[in-house]
Amino acid sequence: VTVRKVGAISAGIDGYTATDLRYGWRPSRSFRFSAEIQNLFDPAHPEFISDDFFPAEFGEVPRRLLLKAVWTH
């Protein structure tokens, strides 16, 4: 579990706290598996206010699910 506290980034974007959860499993020397959820408790958080180049009210980072499998020999 990782908890990050981020202060106000710029005018118009408040600070936030984000929680990530990761589980890793290594069943053998040559195989690893991990699953991670980023933004566990919030569907998204804003990180920037867009300009004319990125026409959106906020640049938001959504909740993410990451799965990873690694095999080495």
CA-CA distance, 57 to 1, in Å (whole number)? 30
Give residue 4's identity as a one-letter amino acid code: R
Q: How confident is the model at residue 50 (pLDDT cuts 50, 70, 90)?
A: low
> Residue 41's pLDDT band (boundaries 50, 70, 90)?
very high
Spacing of C-alpha 24 from chain mean position: 16
Chain segment 10-33, per-residue pLDDT in tens? 767 888 899 999 999 999 999 999
Label residue 40 by pLDDT band (50, 70, 90). very high
Predicted structure pTM score:
0.72
Q: Which residue type sits at 42?
A: D
**55-65 pLDDT tens trace:** 555 578 889 99
Which amino acid, residue 23?
Y
